[in-house]
Amino acid sequence: MLEKLKKEVFEANIALVKNNLVLLTWGNVSGIDREKGLIVIKPSGVSYESMNEEDMVVVDLEGNIVEGKLRPSSDTITHIELYKKYHNLGGIVHTHSTFATSWAQAKRDIPSYGTTHADTFYGPVPCTRKLTNEEIKTEYERNTGFVIVETLESRNIDILSVPGIIVGSHGPFSWGETPDEAVSNAVVLEEISKMALLTENLNSDINHIDHELQDKHYFRKHGKNAYYGQS
């Protein structure tokens, strides 16, 4: 079942290791088949070194296991809430990558200071509020999804223009139209997190990128008038 998607999700999970975004078992990638309403996701707590395509777990949009011998990622319900809310998402990544997680632990948005950031993220990467004690005690993973949605909706953020977020005290989530694109956005998110920290260390009075320069770099890669790359 969903063999092509399993392969894509497996390879996307391995790409997290290749791009130094995960240690041990700290991360997961999922992908969704919208026609079937089924999600493929990494199994919980399984090492990347020993994992194979057959280990990927298929779940429905209620989190029930449809196929697979292993338990799905403990973050599955968070992924599900995002897929339910945003129908243009095809892949989701969660990591505990060092620099993005550091901003999450500091409970700060990641500011846009330069064109590297603006090429992919149209504006700051938002940081969610912390979850309440009640939200942590009751359906923690579902409430993590809810607080991500709450943050995006309250700030009127387009999900594909800002393809990632950091959850306060927790870590980054990123997404895309495919699992591979979600991983690419996770790579960018980690790198711009590092650059922002270094930038502030070098100049504590730095201002955000000029709006005109942000627009130039974002829209030359995205939208109907984009001209970056090959047609």
Q: 52-63 burial string, b = 16+ CB within 10 Å, else e?
A: eeebbbbbeeee
Which two three-digit tokens encode residue 219? 């829209």
Q: Quick one: pLDDT at residue 103?
A: 98
Burial class (CB in 10 A: 0-12, 13-18, 19+), 5: buried
Q: Quick one: pLDDT at residue 166?
A: 98
Which two three-digit tokens encode residue 2? 């969903």
Four-residue CA torsion sign, 152, 87, 9, 18:
negative
Q: Quick one: pLDDT at residue 1?
A: 86
φ, ψ (nearest 5 deg) of residue 107 = 60, 45
**Among the options 158, 210, 215, 228, which is catalytic?**
228
Please give the domain boundaries of the chain with CATH numbers for all domains. 3-219 (3.40.225.10)
**Among the options 48, 83, 119, 210, which is catalytic?**
119
CA distances from 38 to 135, 143, 155 (A): 26, 21, 29
48 is catalytic: no
Q: Quick one: pLDDT at residue 161?
A: 98
pTM: 0.96
Q: List, run by run, the mean pLDDT of 10-residue segments along the chain (231 residues).
A: 96 97 95 98 95 97 96 98 98 98 98 98 98 97 98 97 98 98 98 98 97 97 91 73
Q: Quick one: pLDDT at residue 231?
A: 73
* Cα(15)–Cα(23) distance, integer angstroms: 12
228 is catalytic: yes
Residue pointed to by tokens 């922002």? 196
